[in-house]
Structure 1
Amino acid sequence: MIDTHVHLDTRPMEDFELMAIAGITDVITLAHDPLRMSSDVVFRDHFDRLEEEKKRAGKQGIRVHLGLGLHPRTRPEDIDACEELLEGYLKRGCATAIGETGLETRDPFEVRLFQVQIELAKKYDLPIIAHTPRSSKVQITREIINVLSTFSIDPDRIVIDHADPDTVKLIIDRGYNAGLTVQPGKLSPAAAAEIVKNYDVSRLILNTDMSSNLTDVLGVPRTAHVMRLAGIDPVAIDAVCDKNARRVFKIKP
C-alpha cells in the first residue's frame, strides 16, 4: 500500500513501525508550511529535512519519495529566489512529484505561485499534488481546474487532493485524479469507502495527510479494511490503495 500524502517530518519513529506492520510500503512526504516560510533559506532547510526522512522511515522498511513545492499558505518575501531554489532540487532529480501546491484562498499571489509550479512540473515531467482547502472547497477546486486547463498537461499526472463528496465528480469528470484524505475532520474510512463504491476507481487515490494535526496514520489500511468488510471488489481496493498511485507517480513495486 502507498500513502501518497504525508508529512513525515511531523511524526515520531513509532508511527513508521505501525505503518509498516499495517502494510504501507511506500509514502510520498510533501513540502508544507511547518514554520513561517519567509525565505529561500527556510525552504532550503525544509527540503533538506524532507530528504532526511528517507533514512528515518527507511529504518522500518518504508520507501520514502519526495514531493517538493511551495505550499499555497506560504508567503515568502523572496519568491523568485524560492522558485530558483525549488528548481535546483528538481534538476538534481530529488522529487517524485511537485507538491504540495494548489490554492487556499485564490488570491493573485497563490495563483502565480501555482502557475510557476505547473510550469516546473511540465519542464521536469513530474506529477502534481494540488491542495484544496477546508473552506470554499467547491469554488476553489473549480479555480484549480481553471488554472490547470490553461496549460497543456496530462490530467492523469495531476492529483487534486482532499476531495470530498461535493468535489469528486467535478475532479474526475475532467480526467484528474481525486485524492481522498482519510483524516479526522476530512473523510472517515466509511465516507471514503462510499466514494469508492460510487465513482470510477481508476481516478481515486487514498492518503492520510498525516501531520501534527489530528491524524490517523493507519488511515489507508484502515479504509482498505472497511472496504473489504463492505464487500468492495478487491481489485478496486488494490487500485485506490496502491495501483493508481504507482501509475500516476511511476513508483515501482
Structure 2
Amino acid sequence: MRTELPELLAIDSHCHADIMNSLVPEFFDTYHRMRVGGISWSYVEGIKSYRHYPEYWNRLKELCQRLRQQGLFFYYLVGIHPRCIPPDLDGTSGLPREVTESMLEHLSSPLCLGIGEIGIDTGSEREERIFRLQLEWAEEQVVPGKRVGIHTPRQNKKDITRRILDILSYYEPLHPFTVIDHVTPETFPYVHEQGLVAGLTLQEGKCSKKDLITMLERHGDALKGLMLNSDGARSISKPFFDFICDRSFPDEELKKGLLRDHCLNFFAIRDR
C-alpha cells in the first residue's frame, strides 16, 4: 500500500482517532487542512468484557479505512491499555484466545502497525500481569515489521517509567521495535540509556515546546529518534498544531524529523 507521503507535513504518532471522531467535530477538517496523518492507539473506556475487544479493533480498522478514503492518512495499533482492562480479565490464565486471535488477524493488515497502547498506569499487580502477557505474546509472535507502543502515566511517572523499563529488560528482542511514549525531560534519559525510541506528547498538562527545547539543549543528537504526538482524544491538541506552524524552532531539519520522518522510519511506513 503506497500513499503520497511527501504531501504530509506531520504524522501524529499517537492519537485516538475513534474518540475524536465521536467527540470533536472539527477533527477531520483540522487534520486534513494541516496535512497531518496519524496513528490511532487502542484505548476504549468502560469496556465490560475482553470479548468486546475484537469488535472494538474491527471498528478502529474500519475507521482508518474510511478516513483514508476521505483523504486522511491513518493507521492503528491493537492492544489493551492499562486503564482499559475489563473486569473479566485478570491475567492469571494468560490472554484469552479470542483476544490473541483477533490481535493476530489485525496484525496481518497493512493498516495495523503493531501492538499498543500497552503499559502500566497505577502500578497495580493486575496491570503488570496484563502488560507482561502482551509483551510475551508479542515476543513469541515476532510479527515482521510490527511495532510495540508503550504508555507511561501522568502520576508517579519517573518511578513507573523505570519499572516499565525494568520489565522490558526481560524482553530484549522487542527493544528495536518498541517506543516508550509520553516521556518528559525527566524520564527521557532513562529511555534513551536503554536504547529505546521515545515519544513526546505536546499537550496541555503533558509536555510543552519549552520542555522540548530543554531536551534539545540537554541531549542534542539524542533526539534524532524522538517522535512527537498529540495524544488527541477528547480535544485537539493546540500545542501540537501550534508547533507545526511555529517557525522559531532552532533546527528546521530536526523539526521535520520530530513531526514526520522519525515516525515514518520507526514504523517503516514507507515500505507499506
- Indicate whether the TM-score tops 0.5: yes
**Which residue in the other structure is 1:229 paired with?**
248
**Which residue in the other structure is 1:205 paired with?**
227
The equivalences for 1:68-147 within 5 A come to: 68-76=78-86, 77-78=88-89, 79-80=95-96, 81-91=98-108, 95-122=112-139, 123=141, 124-125=143-144, 126-147=146-167
Whether the aligned pair in 2 keeps the contact of 1:68 and 1:86 (CA below 8 Å) is yes
Shift of 1:220: 3.5
- The reply on whether 1:21 has 2:33 as its aligned counterpart is yes
* Rounded Cα–Cα distance in structure 2 between residues aligned with 1:197 and 1:58: 38
Whether the aligned pair in 2 keeps the contact of 1:129 and 1:159 (CA below 8 Å) is yes
Cα 1:215–1:14, aligned 2, differ >3 Å: closer, same or farther?
A: closer
Give the TM-score taking structure 2 as reference length: 0.82
Shift of 1:204: 1.0
* Rounded Cα–Cα distance in structure 2 between residues aligned with 1:84 and 1:52: 18
Cα displacement string for residues 122-158 of structure 1 (whole angstroms, at most 9, x for unaligned residues): 3214211100111110111011111111013253321
Shift of 1:250: 0.7
* Rounded Cα–Cα distance in structure 2 between residues aligned with 1:250 and 1:90: 14
Shift of 1:224: 3.6
Cα 1:222–1:120, aligned 2, differ >3 Å: closer, same or farther?
A: farther
Q: Which amino acid aligns with 1:75?
A: I
Cα 1:55–1:95, aligned 2, differ >3 Å: closer, same or farther?
A: closer
Whether the aligned pair in 1 keeps the contact of 2:107 and 2:114 (CA below 8 Å) is no
List runs of 5+ in structure 1 lacking aligned partners. Answer: none
List runs of 5+ in structure 2 lacking aligned partners. Answer: 1-9, 90-94
Q: Give the root-mean-square deviation of aligned CA atoms.
A: 2.2
- The reply on whether 1:169 has 2:186 as its aligned counterpart is no
Q: Which amino acid aligns with 1:148?
A: L
**Which residue in the other structure is 2:264 paired with?**
246
- SS, match of residue 264 in structure 2: helix
Whether the aligned pair in 2 keeps the contact of 1:3 and 1:27 (CA below 8 Å) is yes
Cα 1:57–1:220, aligned 2, differ >3 Å: closer, same or farther?
A: farther
Shift of 1:219: 4.1
* Rounded Cα–Cα distance in structure 2 between residues aligned with 1:2 and 1:147: 29
- SS, match of residue 96 in structure 1: strand
Whether the aligned pair in 2 keeps the contact of 1:132 and 1:162 (CA below 8 Å) is yes
**Which residue in the other structure is 2:215 paired with?**
195
* Rounded Cα–Cα distance in structure 2 between residues aligned with 1:153 and 1:164: 25
Q: Which amino acid aligns with 1:177?
A: V
Q: Which amino acid aligns with 1:163?
A: V
* Rounded Cα–Cα distance in structure 2 between residues aligned with 1:224 and 1:87: 35
Whether the aligned pair in 2 keeps the contact of 1:177 and 1:204 (CA below 8 Å) is yes
* Rounded Cα–Cα distance in structure 1 between residues aligned with 2:28 and 2:209: 20
- SS, match of residue 206 in structure 2: coil
Shift of 1:166: 1.1
- SS, match of residue 11 in structure 1: helix
- SS, match of residue 129 in structure 1: strand
Whether the aligned pair in 1 keeps the contact of 2:77 and 2:115 (CA below 8 Å) is yes
Q: Which amino acid aligns with 2:83?
A: R
* Rounded Cα–Cα distance in structure 2 between residues aligned with 1:239 and 1:157: 18
Give the TM-score taking structure 1 as reference length: 0.88
* Rounded Cα–Cα distance in structure 2 between residues aligned with 1:85 and 1:147: 25
